[in-house]
Amino acid sequence: MSNPHAVDLSSADRPDRWGHPAQLWMLLAVTVGLNFAFYGFRAFLAPYIAQHFYADLGAIAAQRQADLLASGFLALMYATPIVGGYVADKILGETRALAMSLWLGALSLLLMALPTLFGLELGLALFALSAGLGIPLTVLVGRNYAHDDPRREGGYTLFYLAINLGSFVTPFVCADLVGAHFGYRWGFVTAAAGMAMAALLFQWRKHKLNRLLPDGHHLHGPVAIAWVLLAIALLLYPVAALLAFPTVLRWAMYALMGLLVLYFVVRCTRRGDRQQTQRYLALLLLFVALVVFWSFSLQGVTSLNFLARDHVDAPFNYVVFQSANPLYILLFAPLLALLWPWLERHGRDPSTPRKFGIGLLLVALSYGVLVYAIDHLAGGDGRIGWWPLALCYLLQTLGELALMPIGYALVGQLAAPEEASLAMGGWFFGVALAYQLAGWIATLTIQAPGVGSIGGLADYAHVYGQLFVWGLGAAAIFLLAAPWIRRLMHGVH
């Protein structure tokens, strides 16, 4: 979100604590609580759905339905920021929007804990609708700094670490400590407690942010809040019903993506700006790489989660694998943050398109590891050791670190200034599209009878082998085409 009237206080006007503006630490604590809640229930969502609501369909159908429902919800959640950002900017204001998102998020998690499928679907729908209102959190972090404050980048690094700290801890707490021992319904309640604590903290301290907000942020009061709550209430049942029909949801998202691409094609045609048109073409190609990467990597939410449950021998609960990605980010993000500048100083820093190709190569290799383990290391009981899956997550995380940190900045640089917000919304929508594709890919791992047996493991090997081959092909295309894509970017690096 952007606002030309944003307040730009000097750094001296912002009270400091531990080297950064004081209110940054409150926002970081809120970030930890929010991500504790989200990644806490995401860790067990698909297996919980299969076990508690579709078990009577048989293992194969139950897993397929769970994959589709979970991926459909996550796709919808990543699509709502397009509207949520507008509501935060134009109707509620940033702090009210974030507070509403946190409180509704806590309520939605309590709905998910209800013993009925309809209660779960209502909770998922409410969480998806409220998630879009939480997008101001990222903006509020930046508002703590003057535009020329050299600490701004460090503040966003702390924000990134806070996200991964919350997502690293929570599978141990919500899924393993609570869910596995007392039932996963209580895992939702634990996640709700984390979200409620974040909401209470923000509600208590949000007035401290008012002096940093754009002019007019306070003009929309209780009436605006009431209208937004009414709109969410009216949308709740239709969205919950849409989640029950994942095929309809998937094609609706494909149609929306097509309309967005068509909009930019028409705008480029009318504008007649050859340079901007080529930049949009480069952005579209990188968008394709983003969708391919995440549709492969997000198997961690669905098929890799079931693989860990049914076919991996580990000295810990299978849900603990959900902590692997944030742990690796906490360990390796600082190292890569040092590596890229070092390579640049020595004239060896890969171009942005080449980094996308490297990300695709790493995610492809991650599935090569699993295929090798299944083909050569599986025991007679159809199970493999835990280390191949841990290595798979490591390669995927390194791929994520190769392409994700530059993605959001790239959109703002390649898009026309008057279309930057819409382009950023489209970039978020790419993750939503990837969740949909990831759910469809996950269903392919359960085509034949035998989940929990050698037959089931063979299905995983077949699909992951396809991901390995197609991933290598996509990586080769982007690595070879990188110089051409870079020329289309016209100086944007």
pLDDT of 476 higher than 70: yes
Q: Write the pLDDT tens digit of every residue in 213-236.
A: 654 555 567 888 899 999 999 999
pLDDT of 410 higher than 80: no
The pLDDT value given to residue 213: 61
Q: Write the pLDDT tens digit of every residue in 55-113.
A: 998 888 899 899 999 999 999 998 888 788 778 877 888 888 899 999 999 999 999 99
12-244 against 246-493: fold identical? yes
Q: Give the domain 246-493 fold.
A: Growth Hormone; Chain: A; (1.20.1250)
The pLDDT value given to residue 340: 77
For residues 437 and 488, what is the distance between their CA atoms, to the nearest angstrom? 28
> Which of these, 342, 325, 322, lies nearest to 333 by C-alpha position?
325
**The Cα angle at residue 73 between residues 71 and 77, in degrees rounded to 5:** 115
Answer positive or negative: Cα dihedral of 245, 246, 252, 255.
negative
The pLDDT value given to residue 451: 44
Return the axis-axis angle of helices 117-131 and 45-53, rounded to nearest 10°.
160
In this structure, are residues 378 and 457 in contact, taking their beta carbons and an 8 Å threshold? yes
Report the half-sphere exposure of 158 (CA within 13 A, side-chain side). Answer: 19
> β-strand 312-313 against 384-385: which pairing, if any?
parallel
The pLDDT value given to residue 132: 87
Report the half-sphere exposure of 257 (CA within 13 A, side-chain side). Answer: 22
Residue boundaries of the structural domains of the chain = 12-244, 246-493
The pLDDT value given to residue 349: 81
Q: Write the pLDDT tens digit of every residue in 413-461.
A: 788 877 766 787 788 788 889 999 999 999 898 865 444 444 478 889 9
> Which of these, 223, 218, 273, 260, lies nearest to 93 by C-alpha position?
218
Return the axis-axis angle of helices 420-443 and 246-271, rounded to nearest 10°.
150
Find the range with the poorest average confidence among 125-134, 152-161, 352-361: 152-161
3-state secondary structure of 385: strand
Report the half-sphere exposure of 56 (CA within 13 A, side-chain side). Answer: 1
pLDDT of 143 higher than 80: no
* Position 5, amino acid: H
CATH 1.20.1250.20 assigned to domain 12-244? The reply is yes
For residues 262 and 79, what is the distance between their CA atoms, to the nearest angstrom? 18
The pLDDT value given to residue 197: 97
For residues 4 and 232, what is the distance between their CA atoms, to the nearest angstrom? 29
* Position 167, amino acid: S
Question: Per-residue confidence at 33, pLDDT binned at 50, 70, 90?
Answer: very high
> Which of these, 94, 65, 81, 78, lies nearest to 209 by C-alpha position?
94
Query: Higher-confidence residue: 371 or 211?
Result: 371
Q: Write the pLDDT tens digit of every residue in 187-220.
A: 999 999 999 999 999 999 877 776 666 545 555 6
Question: Per-residue confidence at 261, pLDDT binned at 50, 70, 90?
Answer: confident
Report the half-sphere exposure of 58 (CA within 13 A, side-chain side). Answer: 8
Question: Per-residue confidence at 122, pLDDT binned at 50, 70, 90?
Answer: very high
Average pLDDT rounded to a whole number, residues 258-264? 86
The predicted model scores a pTM of 0.85
Average pLDDT rounded to a whole number, residues 19-29? 83
- Cβ neighbours of 275 (radius 10 Å): 11
DSSP label of 489: T
Averaged confidence pLDDT in the chain:
86
3-state secondary structure of 348: coil
The share of the chain scoring above pLDDT 70, in percent, equals 89
The pLDDT value given to residue 426: 81
Distant-in-sequence, close-in-space partners of 44: CB < 8 Å, separation ≥ 6: 174, 175, 179, 184, 187, 319
For residues 493 and 491, what is the distance between their CA atoms, to the nearest angstrom? 6
314 sits in the region (left: phi over 0; alpha: psi -120 to 50; else beta) called beta
For residues 314 and 331, what is the distance between their CA atoms, to the nearest angstrom? 22
Per the listing, tokens 């076990």 go with 51
- Cβ neighbours of 273 (radius 10 Å): 13
Q: Which two tokens stand for residue 282?
A: 């480069």
Q: Write the pLDDT tens digit of every residue in 298-337.
A: 999 999 999 999 999 999 999 999 999 999 999 998 888 7
The pLDDT value given to residue 109: 98
Question: Per-residue confidence at 268, pLDDT binned at 50, 70, 90?
Answer: confident
pLDDT of 2 higher than 50: no
The pLDDT value given to residue 405: 65
The pLDDT value given to residue 394: 97
pLDDT of 493 higher than 70: no
> Which of these, 446, 473, 428, 470, lies nearest to 296 by C-alpha position?
470
